[in-house]
Amino acid sequence: MLGAGLAAPVVIIWQFITAAHIFDIGRLMISCGMLLMSLVVIPIAWKITCYIGCILKAYYRYNVNSIVYEVIPREANDDYRK
């Protein structure tokens, strides 16, 4: 959806050039509004995605460590190395 907002003004102008649609200032203004909304939302969505990625990395790291601690108890591992 955000990509469509970025391409909307270009598509409106291209449709006018190729005579697919008549030029309407209302359509162009709406597409420019979509472009502005996309330009505002894309950085916010990127930050949220990066933040969720960091949370998932920490979650997986914690779960893998807890699985290793459950499968290989610390005492048994120390006895094996001696």
Structure-token match 């469509």, residue found: 4
Backbone angles phi, psi at 28, to 5 degrees: -65, -40
Which residues lie closer than 8 Å to 16 by C-beta, 6 or more apart?
Answer: 22, 23
Closest CA to 49 of 7, 12, 2, 13: 2
Q: Tokens 């949370």 label which residue?
A: 55
The pTM score is: 0.59
Higher local confidence (pLDDT), 64 or 76: 64
Find, among 72, 82, 1, 2, the residue nearest to 42 by Cα: 2
Q: What is the pLDDT of residues 5-53, one digit of tens each?
A: 889 999 999 999 999 888 889 999 999 999 999 999 999 999 999 999 9
